[in-house]
Amino acid sequence: MTLPVTLADIQAAAARIAPHIHKTDMQADTEVPDMIVKCEYRQKTGAFKLRGATNAILSLPAQRRGHGVITASTGNHGRAMAHAAKSLGVPAVVCLSRLVPENKVDAIRELGAEVRIIGASQDDAMAEVARAVATDGMIDIPPFDDRAIVAGQGTLGLEIVKQCPEMNAILIPLSGGGLAAGLAIVIKALRPDARIIGVTMENGAAMAASLRAGHPVDVTESVSLADSLGGGIGLQNKVTFPICAALLDQVILVTEAEIARAIRHLDRQGHRIEGAAAVGHAAVLAGKFHPTGPTVTVLSGGNIDPALHARIMAGANAAETA
Ligand SMILES: *Cc1c(COP(=O)(O)O)cnc(C)c1O
């Protein structure tokens, strides 16, 4: 079976985005043998999503870029798109509902995007995206289900294989699957013996449920410390579902308390990260994955609300205030 993204696509993306992104380092865990972390939370904008967004914008034909790019994402994808668009001189619009907190609105404005406040729900914001695409010719940059996005996220895998050629397993945070799909293509090609494991939260994990069902399914969303792992995969998913179905060896689910424990552990190791980035370590610390050789976890992002981080460090084991 041919997959929608190839190693050559990812190598081309790496050359394309190199001037615009940081290479991030890897460090051994000093407490847990065989564990090595990829410090991608130190990427510009605080998450790997800058790789995909930059590649997606650079892959647009020059005459289309002038129409500008648009998204309704308030999370790491929205931040990445705003930053990438600004640094490439492309107009960017982020559509938000009135419910999005002021500090998030300001953060996106500071990254250089026009913020459009539309309606009282995420659906209203998404309707404005659809309108701007249909009427103004703006280009919707999707968060994961897109060949250029997957190729961009895969560039992280090229760095990992180079920095840690002896790896024998990798634990990857899994939501829409853009990150896992990109990494899996690289690692299956260059380190075919390494195990590739997606890790996500127990409640509301759409890709895990879809892989079990054998086709994309919707799940009920719930509040999680791993807020960047929420959301569906799209019932019409075309790119990330088939790649994850073909290449992931296993999916592990972790609880909120396991995520909180991993955030505390990684903080002691000098890594201040968000919940989504802690799931790989959470699986190991909980005994749900047993390393049998150099095992990489991807610290995918660091954008955690400081008040929440403080509560977790003080012992909280859930997203809601105790
Ligand atoms: C988006 C995101 C993920 C999940 O990536 P997908 O490509 O949606 O699977 C993991 N960690 C962080 C920090 C993210 O922002």
pLDDT tens per residue across span 127-141:
999 999 999 999 999
Same domain flag for 57 and 99:
yes
Ligand 1 center to 226 CA (angstroms): 9
Q: Is the CB of 175 under 6 A from ligand 1?
A: yes
Q: Ligand 1, residue 231: give the atom nearest the CA.
A: 8
Q: Which whole number is the average pLDDT over 293-307?
A: 96
Same domain flag for 76 and 126:
yes
Q: Is the CB of 180 under 6 A from ligand 1?
A: yes
CATH number at residue 89: 3.40.50.1100
Q: Is the CB of 227 under 6 A from ligand 1?
A: no
Answer yes or no: are the C-beta atoms of 154 and 177 closer than 8 Å. Answer: no
Of the CA atoms within 13 Å of residue 18, those in its CB half-sphere come to 8
Q: Is the CB of 79 under 6 A from ligand 1?
A: no
pLDDT for position 120: 86
Domain holding 86, by residue range, is: 50-140
pLDDT for position 1: 73
Average pLDDT, the chain: 95
Model confidence pLDDT, tens digit, residues 82-112: 999 999 999 999 998 888 878 888 889 999 9
Answer yes or no: are the C-beta atoms of 128 and 95 closer than 8 Å. Answer: yes
Bigger pLDDT: 97 vs 184 = 184
Radius of gyration of the chain (CA): 18
Same domain flag for 201 and 312:
yes
Model confidence pLDDT, tens digit, residues 189-200: 999 999 999 999
Q: At what angle do helices 206-213 and 240-247 cross, to 10 degrees?
A: 70
Residue 322 has pLDDT above 70, yes or no: no
pLDDT for position 214: 98
Residue 271 phi/psi, 5-degree rounding, is -115, 110
**Rounded Cα–Cα distance for residues 33 and 11 (Å):** 31
| Mutate-to-test residue for ligand 1 from 146, 172, 175, 254, highest number of ligand atoms within 8 A of CB | 175
Q: Is the CB of 231 under 6 A from ligand 1?
A: no
Other CB atoms within 10 Å distance of the CB of residue 286: 16
Q: Is the CB of 230 under 6 A from ligand 1?
A: no
Q: Which whole number is the average pLDDT over 207-235?
A: 93
Same domain flag for 122 and 173:
no
Residue 239's pLDDT band, with cuts at 50, 70 and 90, is very high
Answer yes or no: are the C-beta atoms of 220 and 241 closer than 8 Å. Answer: no
Answer yes or no: are the C-beta atoms of 131 and 152 closer than 8 Å. Answer: no
Residue 255: which of 231, 285, 219, 228 has the closest Cα? 285
Q: Is the CB of 171 under 6 A from ligand 1?
A: no
Same domain flag for 58 and 34:
no
